[in-house]
């Protein structure tokens, strides 16, 4: 189970925190794609960006609780 984050008495859902982490990781990954010129291989760039976010978010939700970073 993913727990809530308490920030100054305000509870932030754990999935929102993971979504923010996935967003930051997605931005870094997309910069690497652009630097390497990988966008030339794809026909529709926004779809690649969305798919990258969904993949990273799914991996975080699946593996962070199993390695013990989130209870």
SS3 18: helix
> Is the pLDDT at 49 greater than 60, yes or no?
yes
Mean pLDDT of the region 12-27: 92
On the question of pLDDT at 17 being above 80, the answer is: yes
Look up the domain containing 24 and give its range. 5-67
pLDDT at 41 over 70: yes
Q: How many helices and strands, by DSSP H and E, does the chain display? A: 2, 2
Helix, strand or coil for residue 15? helix
Mean pLDDT computed over 56-68: 82
Per-residue pLDDT, 68: 59
pLDDT(70) > 70: no
Q: Give the contacts of 4 (CB within 8 A, at least 6 positions apart).
A: 11, 12, 13, 14
Q: How many domains does the chain fold into?
A: 1
């Amino acid at each position: 189970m993913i727990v809530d984050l308490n920030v100054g008495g305000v509870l932030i859902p754990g999935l929102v925190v993971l979504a923010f982490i996935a967003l930051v990781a997605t931005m870094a990954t997309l910069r690497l794609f652009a630097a390497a010129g990988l966008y030339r291989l794809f026909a529709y760039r926004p779809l690649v960006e969305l798919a990258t976010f969904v993949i990273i978010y799914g991996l975080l939700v699946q593996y962070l609780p199993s390695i013990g970073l989130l209870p």
